[in-house]
């Protein structure tokens, strides 16, 4: 690459929820560019009736508060006060309440577009953050700086910085351009998303129900609205999308039961999302670092992808703060190596937990089903273990 380039300290490729959170958390002494192809009006991108709802751990709420985005988001956040985990057609159930954990809520559910709006509004208030419309296409590591080629409607431009962060999602261009390989597998499943209306109020209960077809999560949204995330084998997911709205609701009802009275679709339409695990082999390379889905994309069964990505953003922001305090180079290899080390353990733990749920709770084999019934039953009888699990799920462990 050649020619004049606009200079920044930090270029963030991707203004999705993790990239935007990183820009909001990074120290204000840095000049930051956020390169994002999608316009600020993200709602147009969300499929009607199947918009993604994100379950936030209490630890994530605190990070969003630190990022200055929680106040705008709070009116749209539904608290999770109780969690109910069960399996269809087999014994074994565990329940957890916020009172026994001494917190106001075990977590919060926010509509994905509301989360992005709150973060975008926060970035609009920060003078040191500039939003640039376009795609990052290529990187050139020049030793002390990195050049970033950005393609936009009218052509291409160049930026240069001490550090480029790939927050550009599962198919990360930054990861590829930095030469970081991936490990990946396909679960052969899709998540079917829909918004349900319940005849009875949910009163802050979130449900995770393991069925022989795959796990089904119902998360509180409005007083009688719940977000459904139903993991199904790919061909079943395709069939579920073809069902008429009423037939689909009846199918969900049959699998979920009648705890909340009759279920209907609150908005027409459903969305379907293929489930894959993609993990970068390295978190950093040269002057590039990865965060969020660019670093790893998880199965949503444990609702941990964004929570984990937000912790990446906070860890990197802390390192940038330390560098700013020391008057040091924010993209120095030893700082980035420290970031990779700090994130490795959290990622391993969440990945192992997610895989346990995917493999242990979707297997129809009788011994596995028996073991998970026993595990759920034991958790119900052992409050300290349940509280420890809750603290881990809340991101407070
Ligand atoms: C069905 C489902 C349910 C989920 N539920 C939960 C949950 O309850 N809790 C939870 O914590 N997580 C959940 N997740 C995971 C969560 O949605 C993701 O982890 C999160 O969206 C990742 O954010 P991100 O910013 O890293 O990536 P993305 O949201 O993918 O954002 C990447 C951004 O990069 C931009 N981009 C792409 N290419 C380029 C480029 N070349 N240059 C510049 N920009 C680019 C894109 O336009 C996009 O805005 C769920 C996921 C699914 C599929």
CA distance 162 to 10: 6
Same-domain pairing of 197 and 271: yes
Shared domain for 139 and 15, answered yes or no, is: yes
- Strand order across the beta sheet in which 135-141 lies: 6-7, 155-161, 146-152, 135-141
Residue-wise pLDDT tens digits, 132-177: 999 999 999 998 999 999 999 889 999 999 999 999 999 999 999 9
**Average pLDDT of every residue of the chain:** 87
Does 247 lie in the same domain as 372?
yes
40 with 127, same domain: the answer is: yes
Given a contact cutoff of 8 angstroms between Cβ atoms, the answer to whether 358 and 300 are in contact is no
Q: Can you tell me the distance from the alpha carbon of 57 to that of 80, in angstroms, rounded to the nearest whole number?
A: 10
CATH number for the domain spanning 27: value is: 3.50.50.60
| Number of domains making up the chain | 2
- Given a cut of 80, whether residue 359 has pLDDT beyond it is no
CA nearest to 219, candidates 358, 94, 53: 53
**Which pLDDT score is estimated for 392?**
55
Which residues fall within 8 angstroms of residue 327, CB to CB, at 6 or more apart? none
**What is the distance in A from the centroid of ligand 1 to the CA of 105?**
24
Q: Domain residues for 101? A: 63-112+187-275+363-393
- Per the domain annotation, does 57 fall within a domain? no
Interatomic CA distance for residues 169 and 273, integer angstroms: 14
Q: What is the pLDDT of residue 43?
A: 47
Residue 346 belongs to some domain of the structure: yes
Ligand 1, atom 15, lies closest to the CA of: 305
User: Which residues is 35 bridged to in the sheet?
Assistant: 13, 132
Q: Select the more confidently predicted residue: 4 or 220.
A: 220
- Which residue, by CA, sits nearest to atom 20 of ligand 1? 306
Tokens of 213: 């077809």
Of 91-100, 135-144, 225-234, 266-275, the least confident? 91-100
Name the band, by pLDDT with cuts 50, 70 and 90, for residue 208. Answer: confident
What is the reported pLDDT for 44? 43
Q: How far lies 387's CA from each of 56, 59, 98, 205, in Å?
A: 17, 15, 10, 17
Q: Which of 77-81, 207-211, 383-387, 392-396 has the highest mean pLDDT?
A: 77-81
Whole-number pLDDT of residue 162:
97
Q: Evaluate: CB of 310 within 6 angstroms of ligand 1.
A: no
195 shares its domain with 308 = no
Between residues 277 and 19, the one the model is more confident about: 19
Position 235 in a domain: yes
**What separation in Å is there between the alpha carbon of 368 and the centre of ligand 1?**
32
**Whose C-alpha lies nearest to ligand 1, atom 51?**
300
Q: Which residues pair with 194 in a beta bridge?
A: 228
Residue 336 has pLDDT above 90, yes or no: yes
Contact call for residues 188 and 276 (beta carbons, < 8 A)? no
Say if strands 155-161 and 6-7 run parallel, antiparallel, or are unpaired.
parallel
Q: What is the pLDDT of residue 268?
A: 80
pLDDT of residue 275: 87
Q: What is the pLDDT of residue 150?
A: 97
> Same domain, yes or no, for 178 and 259?
no
- Residue 352: CB partners within 8 Å, gap ≥ 6? none
Q: What is the CATH number of the domain that holds 213?
A: 3.30.9.10
Residue nearest to atom 11 of ligand 1 (CA): 306
Q: Who's near 12: CB < 8 A, 6+ residues apart?
A: 19, 22, 23, 32, 33, 34, 35, 164, 165, 167
Phi and psi at residue 256, to the nearest 5°: -90, -35
Q: How confident is the model at residue 295 (pLDDT cuts 50, 70, 90)?
A: very high
The span from the CA of 111 to the CA of 151, in Å, is: 30
48 confidence band (pLDDT: 50, 70, 90): very low
Residue 59 CB less than 6 A away from ligand 1? no
Question: What pLDDT does 39 receive?
Answer: 79
Confidence (pLDDT) at 349: 87
For residue 40 and ligand 1, the question of a CB distance below 6 A is answered with no
């Amino acid at each position: 690459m050649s020619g004049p380039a606009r200079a920044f300290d930090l270029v963030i490729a991707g203004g999705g929820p993790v990239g935007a959170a990183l820009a909001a958390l990074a120290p204000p002494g840095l000049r930051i560019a956020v390169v994002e192809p999608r316009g600020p009006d993200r709602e147009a991108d969300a499929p009607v009736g199947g918009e993604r709802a994100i379950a936030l751990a209490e630890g994530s709420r605190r990070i969003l508060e630190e990022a200055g985005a929680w106040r705008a988001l709070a009116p749209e956040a539904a608290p999770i006060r109780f969690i109910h985990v069960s399996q269809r057609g087999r014994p074994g159930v565990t329940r957890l309440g916020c009172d026994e954990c001494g917190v106001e809520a075990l977590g919060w559910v926010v509509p994905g577009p509301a989360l992005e709006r709150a973060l975008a509004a926060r970035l609009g208030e920060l003078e040191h953050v500039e939003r640039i419309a376009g795609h990052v296409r290529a990187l050139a590591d020049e030793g002390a700086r990195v050049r970033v080629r950005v393609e936009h409607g009218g052509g291409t431009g160049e930026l240069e910085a001490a550090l480029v962060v790939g927050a550009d999602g599962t198919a990360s261009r930054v990861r590829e351009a930095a030469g970081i390989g991936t490990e990946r597998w396909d679960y052969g499943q899709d998540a079917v998303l829909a918004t349900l209306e319940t005849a009875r109020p949910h009163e802050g209960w979130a449900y995770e129900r393991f069925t022989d077809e795959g796990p089904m999560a119902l998360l509180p949204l409005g007083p009688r609205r719940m977000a459904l995330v139903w993991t199904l084998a790919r061909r079943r997911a395709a069939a579920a999308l073809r069902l008429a709205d009423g037939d689909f609701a009846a199918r969900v009802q049959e699998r979920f039961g009648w705890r909340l009275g009759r279920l209907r679709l609150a908005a027409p339409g459903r969305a379907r999302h293929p489930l894959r695990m993609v993990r970068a082999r390295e978190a950093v390379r040269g002057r590039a670092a990865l965060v969020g889905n660019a670093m790893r994309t998880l199965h949503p069964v444990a609702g941990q992808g964004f929570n984990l990505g937000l912790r990446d953003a906070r860890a990197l922001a802390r390192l940038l703060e330390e560098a700013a305090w020391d008057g040091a180079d924010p993209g120095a290899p030893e700082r980035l190596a420290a970031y990779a080390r700090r994130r490795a353990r959290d990622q391993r733990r969440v990945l192992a937990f997610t895989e346990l749920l995917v493999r242990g709770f979707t297997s129809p084999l009788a011994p596995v089903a028996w073991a998970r019934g026993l595990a759920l039953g034991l958790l119900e009888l052992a409050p300290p273990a349940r509280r420890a699990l809750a603290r881990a799920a809340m991101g407070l462990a």
